[in-house]
Structure 1
Amino acid sequence: MTANDEPTPAPPGRRSRLRSRIDAIEVPRPRLAVGALAGMCVMILGASMLPVPYVVERPGPAIDVLGEYQDEQILTIEGAETYETDGELMMTTVSVDGGPGYTVTPVEVLVGWFDPSQAVFPRELLFPEDQTQEQTDLQNTVQMSTSQQGAVAVALDELGVAYEDTVMVAGIQAGAPAEGQLEGGDVILAVDGEEAADVEGYQALVADREPGEDVTVTVLRDDEERDVTMATADVDGTARLGIVLGAGYDFPMDVRLTVGDVGGPSAGTMFSLAVYDELTPGALTGGEAVAGTGTISADGEVGSIGGIRQKMIGARDAGAEFFLAPGANCEEVAGNEPDGLQVVAVDTFDEALEATTTIAESGTADSLPTCEDR
């Protein structure tokens, strides 16, 4: 065949058979491609929903300790003269996803990496590998209850109000012998009639019993003494009641702090300021919205906390103009202060009190120390 020759057409029967073969080969291809693509999409979607070992921290609510939370007054004081106040003293919180009992997906982690208001950490950096949700909840409860007691004590120290040291039930393990028998906040007075001076002393009194042996614990609850008898549990060959004891105080007034299911110790400084505010004439904040964070020790030292960046953002978004930050967190604070929020560095309760008073008098924190000064 030359260049000008035309190809000889195939006979009609052969052409029909060839077309049928082509159709048989080509028709299934789009269906196969669509099916494969759908399968890939399902796999990708499924992978995006699988839990991953990361924790994502987001700004949580900023809660005015002088006001209400979940329709309940946060701070109530009975048995002492209190005073009307104004303004806000906000405790700040962090929402943590991905801890024990909770999961996050690759999509949530990816969003957290690119969202400057969030932080992403490997789970093992924040939680022991074998820690359960129940253990985490108990830890948070214990830290919150002991923090509240310590915060009240620091405020009363500042006011020169005397009180006595006690040992209290700070938390109860799920399924423990003490569950349903003792309550958080119970003050321990004796174990089988024997008194002890501190937490370690009462722990030793229980541990001296044989596992399974009954123990009678005398507690003070709602200003009433009561005896509670229960069998001890065997924990690695030692008698236990499944309670966590903490340092408590017998105050000359009834001070209650209620913040729902919020846990942890980081609200201590703001609790102390709120108690001081209600027990003194006038508004400590001068009507300003002051937020902050920081643990509080028995001697009034403000300690470092986690999630400081998220707490500053949450405070700003809640309308706070001023923020009290632990000096120990200044490395994380410096250069990360949200626009519109003046951040003051404090190391002690006295410094937090002075800062709040200065803000009330001047309406600014310009003269107060910042993390950039450190």
Structure 2
Amino acid sequence: MERGPAHRIRNSRIVVSVFIGLVLMYLLVFMPLPMFIFQPGTADPIKPMVRVKGGDAEEKGAFMLTTVRVSDASITSLLVAMVHPYEDIYFKKDIFKNGENEREYTQRQEIVMQSSQMNAIQAAYRKLNIPFHIQNDGLVVVRTLPGYPAEKELIAGDSIVKINQDPVKSSAELNELMKSKKPGNTIVVTYKRKGEEKAANLTLTALPAEKDANGNVTSERAGLGIVPADVQSIKADQDGKQVKIKAGEIGGPSAGLMFSLEIYNKLTPGDLSKGYRIAGTGTISAKGTVGSIGGIEHKIIAASKAKADIFFAPKDETAEASGGTPARNYSDAKKRADDIHTKMKIVPVGTLDEAIAYLQQLEPKS
């Protein structure tokens, strides 16, 4: 039987309706906007991330690092975030540095995390008078500058291995090799990307003029146009005290304090946790000073959901101490903790010593 015009029109309307529905779903749910949504992340036990040769494994409680979940905004998630009391919206341009793309931002966070881990290990070693040295392991590309030679071949995350036949393991070595080069020279850059070694011929160009310590403009320099970062590791002079950290894909500097506490616990006899679930946040310097971080209100929620008993928050800082806007980490953490009516105790700390002293005076949890 031949179907009539009415049937064909009805089928056409169904196809058009389905197509429009799919387009609307994409626009509402999947189309990314130039914004990020920040919301509570997780509170993850650090013990599985930190390994110490011959370390003390006793830990009845837990030391936990806290995270902020960052996701691309869609129209739907943006509308939800606008009315949700514990979600924040940021334009990507305010998060990225000038000219930085998302890959380069992620790479920068990885480098900052590596630096945080190094500081955490150093702080614990210094506290326990454990001799150590710093080892250069390589040079990684954090970003490439638009309009310069490296932009054609290199991407964030590439490791530079050699310039011509000269091995490179640090930015100092790279700078020294570049001193003898002039704009217009062609060099062979050997690099690794995802474990695969590659080589590229790149013609150097003049880099922007810089000023030295006296304010004088430096002479013309030839270069690739990259922002490099040294990949380093901390090596204990005694093999039995060596610390290794594997934190997966977590980025940023804010787990420094909690890494140091876990390392200290494993390098000393007994259980520093005393059976408590201890969460927290804060950068740490190689000498053990705790610094302020962003997103602490979200981390309070993550720690409370993970049933933490204690939360270490960086002490409030003045504008002078923080180098700009006053940092109110403890005050913001305490306010959010009061808002959500958590039983978790918020403890302000300014140094690793203060955090350790607080835990040492606690009675073990029954």
> How high is the TM-score relative to the length of structure 2?
0.69
Q: Name structure 1 gaps, 5 residues minimum.
A: 1-36, 68-73, 99-103, 184-190, 218-227, 365-374
2:112 aligned with 1:143? yes
Give the drift of 1:266: 0.9
Q: Which amino acid aligns with 1:130?
A: G
Contact in 2 for aligned 1:138/1:171 (Cα 8 Å): no
2:335 aligned with 1:332? no
Contact in 2 for aligned 1:269/1:293 (Cα 8 Å): yes
Match of 1:358 in 2: 361
**What's the secondary structure of 1:256's corresponding residue?**
strand
Q: Which amino acid aligns with 1:92?
A: T
Cα 1:46–1:229 change in 2 (3 A) is: closer
Taking the aligned partners of 2:139 and 2:365, their CA distance within structure 1 comes to 39
Contact in 1 for aligned 2:139/2:231 (Cα 8 Å): yes
Give the drift of 1:294: 0.7
Trace 1:1-374 onto structure 2 (pairs within 5 A).
47-49=27-29, 50-67=31-48, 74-78=49-53, 81-86=54-59, 87-98=61-72, 104-128=73-97, 130-169=99-138, 171-172=140-141, 176=154, 179=158, 182=161, 192=166, 201-210=172-181, 212-213=186-187, 233-234=202-203, 236-237=205-206, 238-240=222-224, 243-245=228-230, 248-252=233-237, 253=239, 254-328=242-316, 329-337=329-337, 338=340, 339-359=342-362, 361=363, 363=365
Give the drift of 1:321: 1.4
Aligned length: 297
Cα 1:180–1:109 change in 2 (3 A) is: same
Cα 1:236–1:65 change in 2 (3 A) is: farther
Q: Deviations over 1:77-126 (max 9, x none)?
A: 23xx311221100011111113xxxxx11220121222233222233332
Taking the aligned partners of 1:247 and 1:165, their CA distance within structure 2 comes to 7
**What's the secondary structure of 1:96's corresponding residue?**
strand
**What's the secondary structure of 1:335's corresponding residue?**
helix
Q: Determine which structure has more spread, i.e. the larger CA radius of gyration.
A: 1
Q: Which amino acid aligns with 2:42?
A: P
Match of 1:24 in 2: none
Taking the aligned partners of 1:255 and 1:168, their CA distance within structure 2 comes to 16
**What's the secondary structure of 1:213's corresponding residue?**
strand
Taking the aligned partners of 2:282 and 2:114, their CA distance within structure 1 comes to 15
Q: Name structure 2 gaps, 5 residues minimum.
A: 1-16, 144-152, 192-196, 207-221, 317-328
Q: Which amino acid aligns with 1:90?
A: M
Match of 1:188 in 2: none
Give the drift of 1:277: 0.5
Taking the aligned partners of 1:164 and 1:125, their CA distance within structure 2 comes to 37
**What's the secondary structure of 1:319's corresponding residue?**
coil
Q: Which amino acid aligns with 1:249?
A: I
Over the matched positions of the two proteins, sequence identity in percent amounts to: 26
Contact in 1 for aligned 2:140/2:158 (Cα 8 Å): no
Taking the aligned partners of 1:235 and 1:273, their CA distance within structure 2 comes to 46
Taking the aligned partners of 2:365 and 2:235, their CA distance within structure 1 comes to 37
Give the drift of 1:345: 0.8
CA RMSD of superposed structures (Å)? 3.8
Give the drift of 1:334: 3.2
Match of 1:27 in 2: none
Taking the aligned partners of 1:157 and 1:304, their CA distance within structure 2 comes to 21
Contact in 1 for aligned 2:279/2:310 (Cα 8 Å): yes
Taking the aligned partners of 1:261 and 1:66, their CA distance within structure 2 comes to 16
Give the drift of 1:213: 3.1
Taking the aligned partners of 2:130 and 2:257, their CA distance within structure 1 comes to 18
Cα 1:342–1:236 change in 2 (3 A) is: farther
Taking the aligned partners of 1:150 and 1:270, their CA distance within structure 2 comes to 12
Match of 2:14 in 1: none
Match of 1:25 in 2: none
